[in-house]
Amino acid sequence: MNTNTINIIKRFFIIVLIQVLILKQINIGWGGFNYIHLFIYPLFILLIPLKTKRFLLILVAFITGIIVDMFYDTPGLHAGSLVFMAYMRRYILKFLEPVEGYNVDTSPTIWTFGLDWFLIYSSVLVFLNLLWYFSMEAFSFQYTSIVLLRTIFSFIFSEVIIVLYVAILNPK
């Protein structure tokens, strides 16, 4: 194993532990308004190197989601939303590809592509992840407004945490 693989494995454990031990315990809400859920685990898929094969990326997303599902007692919800995000990652990267192309040996971070690029990249994918998650959780068109409110509020807070994590810890 090279050092890059070891760093990815360490990042996996750190992010999953933060998600299931800390962020799961945080309950932001008041008076029946519980639309804010903090999710940092999509960051693991966001930061996987660009050269990662699509099959491996989707498999890792599934395993990561299943592990989070075990702690949240939500069989398949996190796995499904993370697999959807991993599947869409290629299309978002293609849409955001710079004129000179990507260096496939890098990870998509603030430091490699810039803050503006990373904000768009992470925002689109995290929003898609949350929209899928809350849609599957409700599984009814009757709750469309609740799904949208949960998605929007959770997106704002989760995205702030993700950007702070990447900016402060500088994952490579």
- Residue 35: pLDDT over 80: no
What does pLDDT average to over the chain? Answer: 90
For tokens 């689109």, the residue is 124
Q: What is the mean pLDDT of residues 154-162?
A: 94
pTM (predicted TM-score): 0.92
| E-strand stretches of 31-164 | 33-36
Q: What proportion of the chain, given as a percentage, has pLDDT over 70?
A: 95
What's the pLDDT tens digit per position in 3-15? 888 888 999 999 9
| Domain ranges across the chain | 3-24+38-169
Rounded Cα distance between 121 and 3, Å, is 26
What's the pLDDT tens digit per position in 43-92? 999 999 998 999 999 999 999 999 999 999 999 999 999 999 999 999 99
- Residue 148: pLDDT over 80: yes
φ, ψ (nearest 5 deg) of residue 90: -60, -40
| Phi-psi map region of 170: left, alpha, beta (phi>0 left; psi -120 to 50 alpha) | left
- In our burial notation (b when 16+ CB lie closer than 10 A, e otherwise), range 120-139 reads ebbbbbbbbbbbbbbbbbee
Within 10 Å of residue 12's Cβ, how many Cβ atoms? 18
